[in-house]
């Protein structure tokens, strides 16, 4: 196996259960790992610093690390620095999104809406900017030097993309094949407005869908879904 030579940035989320901003911190971190900077970032569950072993506690010493906290208590930053090592940047959702409510104010991802998506996207973009800044400042690793940049859980694995035509433009959607597959497994019927709206909702978790283009995305995604169903049927 070829050794990995690129430096990766660690992202630790507080994922606070008791406040909506904890959910935003978690989803924004996932968005960076999966879609904005896949292959350049890695994460670790914050509670593993205490529950895990020395390998987990070496995380922030091994990777330049960004913490993303929901509130001013900054548990992710404090926990990381106490148990693992100093962090390169410490972000707080309530600072990044000063106007409450942030998102819909819900803690559960059940029934998330466009306000939640917007909040997650905004925080994720800031995290990604910090990732870029850290990588730009970092010295390049020597050839053959491994970063060991995986916690082994698949959290930094990017999803296969799909391409759709939105108003004549080719747009790459991370994870689209899996989204279509899941919709088919869920029995989503591709012949009504509910289907296109559901597809837009799912895709917008992973890819920004501007309000002005929502209708175009709905049309394109429904066409892609129909094509997927036909190919699935033909292959049987």
Contacting another protein within 118-147 (CB under 8 A): none
Does residue 155 bind another protein (CB under 8 A)? yes
46 binds another protein (CB under 8 A): yes
d(CA 18, CA 118): 21
Each residue 182-221 as x (binds another protein by CB under 8 A) or -, in order, gives x--xx---------------x--xx---------------
Angstrom distance (rounded) from CA 147 to CA 17: 31
Alpha carbons 158 and 49: distance in angstroms, whole number? 25
Q: How many CB atoms lie within 10 A of CB 101?
A: 12
In the complex with another protein, the residue whose CB is nearer, 10 or 64, is 10
- Tell me which of 1, 98, 108, 144 binds another protein, using CB under 8 A: 108
Q: Between 46 and 126, whose beta carbon lies closer to another protein?
A: 46
- Helix (DSSP H) and strand (DSSP E) numbers for the chain: 10, 6
Judge whether 164 and 207 are in contact, CB under 8 Å: no
Pairwise CA distance, residues 202 & 180, whole Å: 10
Provide the binding-site residues for another protein, judged by CB under 8 A: 13-19, 22, 26-27, 29-31, 34, 43-52, 73, 75-76, 78-79, 82-83, 107-110, 151, 153-155, 182, 185-186, 202, 205-206
């Amino acid at each position: 196996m070829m050794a990995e030579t690129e430096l990766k940035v660690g992202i630790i989320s507080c994922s606070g259960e008791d406040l909506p901003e904890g959910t935003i911190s978690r989803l924004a971190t996932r968005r960076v790992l999966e879609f904005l900077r896949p292959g350049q970032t890695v994460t670790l569950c914050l509670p593993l610093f205490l529950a895990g072993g020395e390998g987990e506690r070496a995380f922030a010493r091994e990777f330049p690390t960004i913490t993303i906290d929901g509130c001013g208590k900054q548990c992710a930053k404090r926990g990381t620095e106490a148990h693992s090592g100093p962090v390169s940047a410490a972000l707080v959702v309530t600072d990044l999104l000063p106007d409450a409510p942030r998102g819909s104010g819900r803690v559960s991802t059940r029934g998330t809406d466009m306000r939640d998506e917007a909040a997650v996207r905004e925080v994720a973009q800031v995290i990604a900017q910090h990732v870029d800044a850290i990588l730009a400042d970092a010295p390049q690793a020597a050839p053959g030097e491994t970063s060991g940049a995986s916690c082994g859980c698949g959290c930094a694995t990017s999803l296969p993309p799909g391409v759709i035509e939105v108003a004549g433009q080719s747009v790459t959607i991370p994870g689209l094949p899996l989204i279509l597959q899941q919709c088919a497994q869920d029995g989503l019927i591709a012949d009504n407005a509910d289907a296109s709206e559901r597809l837009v909702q799912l895709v917008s978790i992973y890819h920004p869908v501007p309000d002005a283009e929502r209708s175009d995305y709905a049309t394109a995604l429904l066409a892609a879904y129909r094509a997927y169903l036909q190919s699935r049927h033909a292959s049987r």
